[in-house]
Amino acid sequence: MKLSTANKLLIVMIVALGVLVGLRLLDPSLAPSLWDMLGADALRTLTTPWFHLGPRTEAERVAPGLDVTPILIIQAVAFLVVLTIGARLGRRFMHTRVLSHTSLDVGQRYSLANLFGYLLFFFGLVIGLQTAGLNLSSLTFLGGAVGIGIGFGLQAIVNNFVSGLILLAEHPVRVGDIVEVGPLSGEVMRIGGRSTWIKSPNNSVAIVPNSDLVTGRVVNLTAIDNRARLTIEVAAPYGTDPEKVRSLLLSVARGSRAVLAQPAPVAVLARLADNGLRFELQYWTERRPGAIAEVMSELNLGILKAFREEGIEVPVPQREVHVRTVPEGAPPERT
């Protein structure tokens, strides 16, 4: 598991702090007290409460509140950083070490690992708040204010976050699927808490809000499996043996490694056009980025080569132009 530079620096700081605390506990003369090093004025500034959370009544004897001090804020920020890193490491461990040995596909492993990371962060936050001495029931009065804030300013963010949870739990769209969302088309790279990343065939990434994938119209081209049925239309001139053309088309399709043997390719005479016979070659292939265009190009080149070897010309639309000469001295025609 590769750690980033920020994670390594945080681990070094935690280890150094642990060494100082351990030395202080073993022998106070080995390491000075951090509080003594700060000084009385700095210590008083850090421990002076800014405000109080919770009631200031007799109920505090049963459910005491919490004095918010600068040192508490510093500890809370450090705790949130450690909790975030721990949740990410736990999610990565679950994805690479635990779920990778199961029969789940890539999308399901990604979804379960993300849910595990969210749950780990949530329960860690609740345990941290209770350990700090804050009774969560004392925050009930904040529920109304938070609800108003969610109703106005955070409505879109909460909507996208809940939509992301729905995507991870319901699996209408998974990582690795090829989807069409309106004019966008591409492969799903990442399903985050707020948005989903979709990589297009030209290697650009479209960031789509999760709510668009839940409430909007989405075409998942690989929801059932990765196979796709494609059709190539081919023209042949009248007078050509149709069975011979069908045999050539099937031979070209069966000779391509990208065309699946099952379901088998099919060649049919679709219609009798004004300038020739219209055949359709229907075949199945695996749907992956860039593969469809490559298969179609390979088959078209193979069909052209087979037609040339058999002396079959691909007909082109014919246009007849009639030119009429006007005798000299004839009056111009009125339209």
Give the end of a domain, one of 189, 220, 251: 220
Question: What's the CATH code of the domain at 177?
Answer: 2.30.30.60
Q: Residue 158 above 70 pLDDT?
A: yes
Position 320 in a domain? no
Confidence class of residue 167 from pLDDT cuts 50, 70 and 90?
Answer: confident
Q: Residue 194 above 50 pLDDT?
A: yes
Position 250 in a domain? yes
Position 241 in a domain? yes
Residues 232 and 295 in one domain: yes
Position 3 in a domain? yes
CA torsion, ordered 72, 73, 78, 79, to nearest 10 deg? 70
Give me the mean pLDDT over the 144-168 stretch. 73
Position 167 in a domain? yes
Residues 124 and 51 in one domain: yes
Residues 81 and 96 in one domain: yes
Residues 186 and 258 in one domain: no
Residues 28 and 96 in one domain: no
Residues 231 and 283 in one domain: yes
Position 168 in a domain? yes
What one-character DSSP code corresponds to residue 221?
A: T
How many structural domains comprise the chain? 4
Give me the mean pLDDT over the 121-142 stretch. 68
In tens, the pLDDT along 208-218 reads 999 888 888 89
Lowest mean pLDDT among 38-52, 151-165, 179-193: 38-52
In tens, the pLDDT along 26-42 reads 665 555 555 555 555 55
Give me the mean pLDDT over the 64-91 stretch. 77
Residues 164 and 121 in one domain: no
In tens, the pLDDT along 259-312 reads 988 889 999 998 888 778 899 999 998 877 667 788 889 999 999 999 999 888
Residues 133 and 51 in one domain: yes
Lowest mean pLDDT among 99-108, 140-149, 319-328: 140-149
119 or 39: which carries more pLDDT confidence?
A: 119
| pLDDT reported for residue 281 | 92
Locate 245 and state its tokens.
């053309």
| pLDDT reported for residue 98 | 85
| pLDDT reported for residue 95 | 83
Angle between helices 70-93 and 40-47 (to 10 degrees): 70
121 or 158: which carries more pLDDT confidence?
A: 121
Position 314 in a domain? no
| pLDDT reported for residue 248 | 92
Q: pLDDT averaged over the chain?
A: 77
Locate 84 and state its tokens.
């975030």
Question: What's the CATH code of the domain at 262?
Answer: 3.30.70.100
Whether this prediction's pTM lies above 0.75 is answered by no
Residues 300 and 272 in one domain: yes
Cβ-proximal residues to 143 (8 Å cutoff; 6+ apart), any chain:
none
Q: Residue 53 above 60 pLDDT?
A: no
Exposure string of 160-186, with b = 16+ CB inside 10 Å and e = fewer, is bbebbbbbbeeeebbbebbbebeeeeb
Position 41 in a domain? no
Residues 297 and 263 in one domain: yes
Backbone angles phi, psi at 304, to 5 degrees: -60, -40
**Residue span of the structural domain in which 111 resides:** 47-55+62-138
